[in-house]
Amino acid sequence: MSLKFLIVGFDGLRPDFATPENMPRLSGFPEKSHTWENYLACFPTETYVNHPSIFSGVRPERHGVIANSFCYEDEKRRMRLFEGFRIDSVMEADALLHGLYAVPDLGARLAREGKRLRIYCANSPGSTRLQHVHASDFSGHLNAPVHALDKAIPGAEARELIRAHGKGVPLEFPDALGTTLTVDLFFERELKNGPEGLAEATVLWIGEPDHSEHELGLFSAKTLEGLRQADHEFGRVLDWWETEGRAKDIQLVVMSDHGHVEVARHADFEEILENAGLHVLTGSDIAQGADPKADDVILIGEYTSGIWVPGKRREVLEAVRDALMASPEVGMVFSQPDPGLPGAREGLIPGTFSEGLLSSAHPRGPDIRFIPRGDPETGRCVMTNALPLGSGAHGGLLPQETHALLAIQGSRFPGFGRHAEPATHEDFAATLMTMLSLLDDDAPLPLPTGRILSEALGEKESMRRAPVSRETLTIARGDFSQTLHFLTFQGRNYTLSGGRTERLPL
C-alpha cells in the first residue's frame, strides 16, 4: 500500500490545553510521537492566514492571504472586502485577484501527480473552502463543510452527502454535532473500501476548541465539555489507526493552527483614530460600497487590525502611527518593508517594525498593522467589544497564540521525541509534499519555502551542527517601545512572540 497521510486538526488548540484531564486520548498521543516544543503559527495568528500556510507550504508573504479580513482593489479600482468565513467572498477574491493563493496549494500538487486530497471540516464554510479552493476541478477530490454540506464541492458528492445527512448539522456551542459528523463521515465514506481506498491526504478538521473559546470563554465549563467531546471523537480515529491504519503505511498527524488568548479589556480603536482628527472607514463601510476619499483611513479588524490609507499619503500614515503609539491600549505597530532596505528592522513608517521580519509583508497587506496590548505572562489581551470579556481571541504575538500543536506518528517517522528545533506550518507542508513525491525541481511550479522536518525522520545526527539561537529586537519612538523575539535555526527565523516592551499586567 502506498504512503498516505491522515491529518486530524483541532482549531485553536493551545498545546497546554491538551492535558490528561481535558483530553486524555490526545494528551497521550504526543508521548509516542514526534512533537515540537516550539511549533509556531504564522503572523497574524488567524485561521484564514494559517490554513493557507498549512496547505501551501509558504508563509503569508508568498501565499497572499494576509488576514481573516482585508480590503483589495478589483479591476475597476473599486475597494472590495475579503471575509474568509464566507465562501462567496473567498471565491470572489479568487476570481478578481486571479488566484487567491499566489502559489499552488496541496490539492493542486496532488492532482498533478494523480493523487487526491479529501477534506471534512467543522469550521465555517469559507474556512473549509480555503483548505482546498479548487477541489471541484480534480477527480476524486473533496471539500466538505459539515455545517453546510450543500456548499461541498464537487457538486456530485455534495448531492450524495445531502441525501444521507441533509444540509449538515447546525453549529452549536460547544460544537458536538459538527465534531461527531466530521468523524462519522470519515468512517462512513472514506473507509467504505477499507484503508486501501483512502486518499493520499485526508483531513478531518475539528472546530473545537475554537468555536467554544470565542463564544463561551476560554476557561468555561462548556468549552471544557467541547474539548472532552472532541477528544472522545479523536479516540475513535486513534483506535482505528492503531488497529488497522498504522500497519497500512498511514501516517497520523495531529495538529492545530494557532492558540488563544483571553480578552481582558475592551478598547475602541476607531475612536482613538478619530480623536486624532482622522476620518475612519471600517470593513463594514467597504462591504456596503463606500468609496474611500484621500483623507480617509480604512480600519479592518477587531483584534490585530490592518489600516489602509488611499494614496499612501505620508502625513496621514504618520498621523495614524502617532495616534496608535500614543494610546496605552496599543501593543505593537508594523508597516510594510522599505524596498530599498529589505532586511531592516524598521518599516517604511519610522518607528514601526517591518512586516518583512515576520514574513507577513505582501502587496495586499495593510499600510500599517497593529496589535492591541497584551500580557505574555497571563495570556490576556485588549481588543474591541466584538467579543465579550473572558472570550478567546487570536491574531497577535503573545506566546499563548503563537504556539500550536504538531504531533506525528507512523512508519515513516521512526521513534519518537520532543524536539527543540522550531518549526512552523510551512515546514510541515514541505515535509508532507516531499514524502508524497509532489515536488519536482524541474517542474514549473514554485517550491514551498519550508524546511524538511529531518529531526523526525531518523536524521538527528546530521542536524547537530545547527544549533537553535534566540534573537531579540527592540525599536522605539518616543515613549513607545516594542520588542520581537525570534528563534533561528538553519538560517530561518521563527517568530516566537512580541509585544510592547513595558509590561502592563492584564
What is 232-256 written as a DSSP string?
Answer: HHHHHHHHHIIIIIGGGTEEEEEE-
The reported pLDDT for the residue numbered 468 is 95
Task: Clarify whether residues 268 and 235 are in a common domain.
Answer: no
| Lowest model confidence (mean pLDDT) among 78-82, 248-252, 386-390, 477-481 | 78-82
Say if residue 18's pLDDT is above 80. yes
The reported pLDDT for the residue numbered 464 is 56
Say if residue 117's pLDDT is above 80. yes
At residue 1 the predicted structure's pLDDT band, cuts being 50, 70 and 90, is: low
Q: What are phi and psi of 143, to 5 degrees?
A: -135, 110
Burial class (CB in 10 A: 0-12, 13-18, 19+), 288: exposed
The reported pLDDT for the residue numbered 342 is 80
Q: Is residue 113 part of a domain?
A: yes
Distance separating alpha carbons of residues 199 and 37, to the nearest angstrom: 30
The reported pLDDT for the residue numbered 458 is 83
Say if residue 462's pLDDT is above 80. no
Task: Clarify whether residues 372 and 430 are in a common domain.
Answer: no
Q: Is residue 28 part of a domain?
A: yes
Residue 142 · residue 156 · CB < 8 Å: no
Residue 158 · residue 152 · CB < 8 Å: yes
**Quick one: average pLDDT of 262-266?**
98
Indicate the residue type of 269.
Answer: F
H helices present in 115-220, as ranges: 125-131, 155-165, 176-185, 210-216
The reported pLDDT for the residue numbered 460 is 57
pLDDT tens readout for residues 409-419: 999 999 999 99
Say if residue 442's pLDDT is above 80. no
Task: Return the closest-CA partner of residue 43 out of 338, 257, 270.
Answer: 257
The reported pLDDT for the residue numbered 446 is 83
At residue 443 the predicted structure's pLDDT band, cuts being 50, 70 and 90, is: low
CA 243 to chain centre: 32
Distance separating alpha carbons of residues 209 and 226, to the nearest angstrom: 6
The reported pLDDT for the residue numbered 320 is 98
Residue 84 · residue 48 · CB < 8 Å: yes
Task: Clarify whether residues 285 and 253 are in a common domain.
Answer: no
Task: Clarify whether residues 137 and 254 are in a common domain.
Answer: yes
Burial class (CB in 10 A: 0-12, 13-18, 19+), 384: middle
Residues with Cβ within 8 Å of 410's Cβ and at least 6 positions away in sequence, in order, are 246, 249, 250, 251, 252
pLDDT tens readout for residues 375-386: 999 999 999 999
Residue 48 · residue 90 · CB < 8 Å: no
Task: Clarify whether residues 410 and 279 are in a common domain.
Answer: no
pLDDT tens readout for residues 331-390: 999 999 999 888 899 999 999 999 999 999 999 999 999 999 999 999 999 999 999 999
Q: What is the CA radius of gyration of the chain?
A: 22
Say if residue 215's pLDDT is above 80. yes
Residue 427 · residue 39 · CB < 8 Å: no
Task: Return the closest-CA partner of residue 282 out of 79, 73, 65.
Answer: 79
Q: Is residue 478 part of a domain?
A: no
List C-alpha distances in Å: 264 to 272, 302, 504, 505. 19, 14, 12, 10
Count of domains forming the chain: 2
At residue 293 the predicted structure's pLDDT band, cuts being 50, 70 and 90, is: confident
Residue-number span of the structural domain to which 268 is assigned: 263-392
Indicate the residue type of 353.
Answer: F
The reported pLDDT for the residue numbered 13 is 98
Task: Clarify whether residues 404 and 378 are in a common domain.
Answer: no
What 3-state DSSP class applies to 498? Answer: strand
Say if residue 461's pLDDT is above 60. no
pLDDT tens readout for residues 312-328: 999 999 999 999 999 99
For the beta sheet containing 403-404, the strands, ordered from the edge strand earlier in sequence to the opposite edge, are: 403-404, 39-40, 423-424
Q: Is residue 498 part of a domain?
A: no
CATH number of the domain enclosing 150: 3.40.720.10
Mean model confidence pLDDT for the chain: 95
Task: Clarify whether residues 380 and 447 are in a common domain.
Answer: no
The reported pLDDT for the residue numbered 441 is 64
Task: Clarify whether residues 215 and 172 are in a common domain.
Answer: yes
Task: Clarify whether residues 22 and 159 are in a common domain.
Answer: yes
Q: Is residue 81 part of a domain?
A: no
- Please state, for a pLDDT cut of 70, what percent of the chain lies above it: 98
